């Protein structure tokens, strides 16, 4: 039996920054801090990495941008990858059917 996943929890920028601060300054292991806050330990490490890389700009948006918000370049790259896959499939199909004609 499969269970349907509920909606993702969202956390504020302030909550994430405070969680990272607690993890770094606390005498407790990260797993204990995560359990107290109700988040996964791995999530704390991800937030720490984002904060160290981006500083004040960390935790800006809500995940991956929607299709309508993607840049034209990324849309074209996606389409290019899809077309390359289609060409490979067609080449394999053509080779398969060519063997049948001989």
What is the CATH topology of the domain spanning 9-60?
Answer: Arc Repressor Mutant, subunit A (1.10.10)
pLDDT score recorded for residue 84: 97
Give the residue extent of every domain in the chain.
9-60, 71-102
Average the pLDDT over 11-40 and give the result. Answer: 90
pLDDT over 80 at 60, yes or no: no
C-alpha to C-alpha distances, 101 to 38, 61, 92, 95, 97, nearest whole angstrom: 64, 56, 15, 10, 7
Q: How confident is the model at residue 81 (pLDDT cuts 50, 70, 90)?
A: very high
Average the pLDDT over 59-66 and give the result. Answer: 67
The model scores a pTM over 0.85 = no
C-alpha to C-alpha distances, 61 to 11, 52, 68, nearest whole angstrom: 11, 17, 15
The answer to whether 26 and 18 are in contact (CB under 8 A) is: no
pLDDT score recorded for residue 7: 77
| CB neighbourhood size of 22 (10 A) | 16
Indicate the average pLDDT of the chain: 85
């Amino acid at each position: 039996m499969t269970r349907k996943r509920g909606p993702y929890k969202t956390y504020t920028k302030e909550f994430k920054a405070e969680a990272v601060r607690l993890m770094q300054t606390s005498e407790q292991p990260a797993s204990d801090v995560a359990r107290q806050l109700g988040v996964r330990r791995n999530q704390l490490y991800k937030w720490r990495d984002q904060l160290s890389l981006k500083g004040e700009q960390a935790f800006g948006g809500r995940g991956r941008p929607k299709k309508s918000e993607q840049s034209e370049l990324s849309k074209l790259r996606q389409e290019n990858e899809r077309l390359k896959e289609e060409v490979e499939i067609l080449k394999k199909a053509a080779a398969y059917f060519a063997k049948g004609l001989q």
